[in-house]
Amino acid sequence: MKRILTLFLIVTLALPLFAFDFFFDEEEPQTTRNVSFTMDSGVQAFFNDGELSPYANLTLKAEQDGAKYRAFAEVSYDSTLQSLEAQEISLSLFLGPVTLKAGLMRHSWGTADTAHVVDIVNGRDLRKGIVDDVEMMKRPDWMLTLSTYGENSAFDMVVKPGFNPSLVATDGKFSMTDPMMSMLDSFIPTILNHLDPTELPITEMDTHTLSAISIGGRYRFMFDPVDVGFMYYYGYYPDFGVKLSLSGGDLANGIPFDLKGVHLLYTRYHFIGIESSYFFSPFTLAVEGGMFLSEDSKGTDYSLYNSKLVYLAELSYTNPNNSFFAALNYQGQMVLNYDPRLLPIPEQYLEADLLASFNGKPYQNNFTLAMEYPFMREKMKVRVAGTYQMESLGYMVLGSLTYDLDDAVEVFAKATVYGTFDESRMGLYNTWKENSQIQVGVRAWF
Amino acid sequence: MKRTLFTVALIALVSTTLFAAPLTANEIMTKVLDTQKADSAAMDLKLTLIETNGTQRERRIQTLTKSVGDDTSSITVFLSPESVRNTRFLTKETNGQSEQYIYLPALKRVKRIAASEEGGSFMGSDFSYADMASTTYDTDEAVHTLIAEDGDTYTVQSVPNKKNVYGKNVVVVDKTTFLPLRVEFYDLDGKTLLKTLVTEQQDYVGDRPITKVIVMTTVASGHATRIEILQARYDMPISDNYFTLKYLETGR
């Protein structure tokens, strides 16, 4: 067995790298394999409480390419989350103009560079707050995709038998459930009889059944210098809503309800969207927009998300000579049929749109500015990004400096600052305002 | 009979040697370009960036180039280092207009970018984009003057008609292969030496001579870049499917 493993490793590591089959000897099978290992390790310190914690992220990637297929697997271990997770396990089949890909993966929609409003196929991963890799803030999901290309067009279709909901931290510094519990506490005992939240029965909708199937497609075409894509998706909003199980209660007579349990459920919707980019050298203007048509079309069910409009515009600049990149991104959403009046109804206190809103407004608007500048012949790279949330007056700033010691090792320092100009307002960055941190570490590829 | 044949052969040889018209600078530079010209090419390259302290960084790329008329398209795939592996870069020319696209695997998206200026550094190396296209000028692009000649080499000075990046080049050409053995690149003032290119090794692909290993050195910094052609194939049919959005996104 050992010999087989050793032989496998030798064969795997000894095969040459090829991008094109022009370099294969005709007698050799046209197969390549590549295995790589990445270690990202360092220490992070939180400004607020001075907490200092070492961390290590380890990633193993394995890929095999044949003439008609590609098999890919990526597995990572995150010491902060203490979890070993598959990031991608996929098999692609290349059948002439059609590519079929199946497995656990992320599928990307949208034309902007810094953020998206139509990139809706995967749920979100907010367990570590906002990180400087947009793709890593998406939770991989099991799906089947089909892509086909014309001369100036492309079509891709995605089918998900069930779905992975968004991931949020349930404890720790980036916990999203603690603020929810605080909200629950705020109206206990006025309208709810107190129950120990730790003893509260919490159930969740089964998202891995065929009845939770999602299906969608995108068609893109290019008329130089404009690209336009249209998309449709029938699926579930990956963030949960809360349905309270209540009994008794008569608020007119001041009798609070008994809270029997909490059920987490997800909202069905149709999504129609558009993405487009217009290139006018050296700038690119990208726009994305769409409408979520919720199953709760009238917005009367507090446990479901309402229909909403989303929109984005981004102006970016890339200098081809030194790879300097800058982008200004504006994005927002408008929730339809949203009633901001807070009625003495327990369910409304945990209304899905209220929990997702910024300061209780049925709309939100964000500005993001991002820059990247490589210098010293690309040995050193500076990245800065800042987001300002208009309704909550919250902000987040990410900054990083990386330096390549050699081709396989880089050292870096990163800082993340969350804050608000008004602490009384509700919003994600306000919730995380104590979580500003700095990281210093090393990343190595093997 | 034998003597007659020998005499004829000798006369022919002497005539060729004594009376062959010497090549002009334009003819030399035309031969230099013709030697390197190809309708299509597939190259497997290793770029080594060499710091003044000797530290080296390697980039491995493979590139396909195809010319149709005056329009040339190319696709470049980065194989290493691991941090940029599978980044793909497409340049398409249509009626002389160039479009450039890049696929970044980390973003899983294709992005169109501005065409690089001729003087911009190629991948942080000492080669500019103009150098990567050609290190010598065509006869209609520059005024060529033969300034020296010995038994093995010609030395030609080229002053470009449009001085975009360089004011003057001095090329030492191998008389046998018509490959450039050394090129000196001067600033727009025509006097300050900016970079030197040295051919360290020549080779043949079939009957075609190639510069297998070349080193470009920036005089001011001492930084150098070595390009080695690991494999090359020329003038074979290349499908247009390589120069498409599909190939950029899928690598197939």
**pLDDT recorded at residue A279:** 92
Q: How confident is the model at residue B80 (pLDDT cuts 50, 70, 90)?
A: confident
* Residue-range definition of the domain harbouring residue B106: 23-250
Residue-wise DSSP of A174-208: TBSHHHHHHHHHHHTTTTEE---GGGS-EEE---S
Write down which residue in A324, A356, A388 finishes a domain.
A356
Mean of pLDDT values over A227-238:
96
| Residue A348 located in a structural domain | yes
Residue among A134, A321, A379 minimizing CB distance to B117: A321
| Residue A99 located in a structural domain | no
> What amino acid occupies position A373?
Y
**pLDDT recorded at residue A8:** 36
- Of A154-158, A183-187, B150-154, the poorest mean pLDDT is in A183-187
**pLDDT recorded at residue A110:** 95
A285 with A138, same domain: the answer is yes
Residue A5: is its pLDDT beyond 80?
no
Gap from A343 CA to chain B (nearest CA, Å): 44
B189: CATH: 2.50.20.10
Mean of pLDDT values over A200-204:
84
What's the complex ipTM? Answer: 0.81
| Whole-number average pLDDT of chain A | 86
Q: How many domains does chain B have?
A: 1
A267 with A392, same domain: the answer is no
Q: How confident is the model at residue B40 (pLDDT cuts 50, 70, 90)?
A: very high
| Residue B193 located in a structural domain | yes
| Whole-number average pLDDT of chain B | 85
A401 with A309, same domain: the answer is no
**pLDDT recorded at residue B12:** 45
**pLDDT recorded at residue B114:** 79
Percent of chain B predicted with pLDDT > 90: 44
| Residue A26 located in a structural domain | no
**pLDDT recorded at residue A31:** 85
Half-sphere exposure of A93 (CA within 13 A, CB side): 7
A169 with A288, same domain: the answer is yes
Secondary element (H or E) of residue A347: helix A346-349
Q: What is the DSSP letter of B161?
A: S
| Residue B30 located in a structural domain | yes
Instruction: Identify the residue with better confidence: A219 or B97.
Output: A219
Residue A198: is its pLDDT beyond 90?
no
Each residue's pLDDT tens digit, B17-30: 444 578 899 999 99
Each residue's pLDDT tens digit, A73-102: 999 999 988 999 999 999 999 998 899 999
Residue A246: is its pLDDT beyond 50?
yes
Closest among A164, A333, A345, A332 to A257, alpha carbons compared: A345
- Which of B126, B246, B248, B249 should we substitute to test contact with A (largest number of A Cβ atoms within 10 Å)? B246
**pLDDT recorded at residue A188:** 58
Reduced to 3 states (helix: H, G, I; strand: E, B; else coil), residue A209 is coil
| Residue A352 located in a structural domain | yes
Gap from A51 CA to chain B (nearest CA, Å): 31
Write down which residue in A356, A376, A393 finishes a domain.
A356
| Residue A220 located in a structural domain | yes
A144 with A271, same domain: the answer is yes
Percent of chain A predicted with pLDDT > 70: 86
Q: How confident is the model at residue A346 (pLDDT cuts 50, 70, 90)?
A: low
Residues B104, B84: contact at Cβ < 8 Å? no
| Residue B6 located in a structural domain | no
Q: How confident is the model at residue A144 (pLDDT cuts 50, 70, 90)?
A: very high
| Residue B3 located in a structural domain | no
Q: How confident is the model at residue B1 (pLDDT cuts 50, 70, 90)?
A: very low
Q: How many domains does chain A have?
A: 2
Residue A32: is its pLDDT beyond 70?
yes
A329 with A433, same domain: the answer is no
A391 with A252, same domain: the answer is no
Give, rounded to a whole angstrom, the gap between the first and last alpha carbons of chain A: 25
Mean of pLDDT values over B238-247:
90
Reduced to 3 states (helix: H, G, I; strand: E, B; else coil), residue B174 is strand
Query: Which residues contact residue A385 at a Cβ distance below 8 angstroms, ignoring those fewer than 6 apart?
Result: A114, A132, A368, A369, A370, A371, A397, A398, A399
Q: CA angle at residue A333 from A329 to A338, to 5 degrees?
A: 165
Query: Does B236 sit within 8 Å of A445, measured CB to CB?
Result: no
A309 with A433, same domain: the answer is no
What pTM value is reported for the model?
A: 0.83
Residues B195, B221: contact at Cβ < 8 Å? no
Query: Does A377 sit within 8 Å of B223, measured CB to CB?
Result: yes
Distance from C-alpha of B161 to C-alpha of B150, rounded to nearest angstrom:
28
Gap from A115 CA to chain B (nearest CA, Å): 11
Query: Does A94 sit within 8 Å of B123, measured CB to CB?
Result: no
Query: Does B106 sit within 8 Å of A135, measured CB to CB?
Result: yes
A228 with A143, same domain: the answer is yes
Residues of B in contact with A277 (CB under 8 A): 112
Residue A38 structure tokens = 């990445």
A273 with A315, same domain: the answer is yes
Distance from C-alpha of A16 to C-alpha of A34, rounded to nearest angstrom:
9
A148 with A287, same domain: the answer is yes
| Residue B14 located in a structural domain | no
| Residue B18 located in a structural domain | no
Distance from C-alpha of B96 to C-alpha of B118, rounded to nearest angstrom:
15
Residues of B in contact with A154 (CB under 8 A): 245-246, 249
Distance from C-alpha of A44 to C-alpha of B166, rounded to nearest angstrom:
49
**Residue B214: Cβ within 10 Å count:** 24
**Residue A148: Cβ within 10 Å count:** 16
Query: Does A23 sit within 8 Å of B62, measured CB to CB?
Result: yes
**pLDDT recorded at residue A343:** 60
**pLDDT recorded at residue B5:** 47
Reduced to 3 states (helix: H, G, I; strand: E, B; else coil), residue A96 is coil
E strands present in B95-192: 97-104, 109-113, 142-149, 153-160, 168-174, 180-186
| Residue B181 located in a structural domain | yes
- Of A146-155, A226-235, A342-351, B81-90, the poorest mean pLDDT is in A342-351
* Residue-range definition of the domain harbouring residue A341: 106-356
Mean of pLDDT values over B155-176:
91
| Residue A405 located in a structural domain | yes
**pLDDT recorded at residue A348:** 67
Write down which residue in A356, A390, A413 finishes a domain.
A356
Gap from B34 CA to chain A (nearest CA, Å): 23
Q: How confident is the model at residue A243 (pLDDT cuts 50, 70, 90)?
A: confident
Residue A3: is its pLDDT beyond 60?
no
Highest mean pLDDT (candidates A273-282, B11-20, B52-61): A273-282
Q: How confident is the model at residue A299 (pLDDT cuts 50, 70, 90)?
A: confident
Mean of pLDDT values over A138-151:
95
**pLDDT recorded at residue A81:** 87
Residue B251: is its pLDDT beyond 60?
yes
| Residue B4 located in a structural domain | no
Query: Which residues contact residue A233 at a Cβ distance below 8 angstroms, ignoring those fewer than 6 apart?
Result: A120, A121, A158, A214, A215, A216, A217, A270, A271, A273
A262 with A320, same domain: the answer is yes
| Residue A237 located in a structural domain | yes
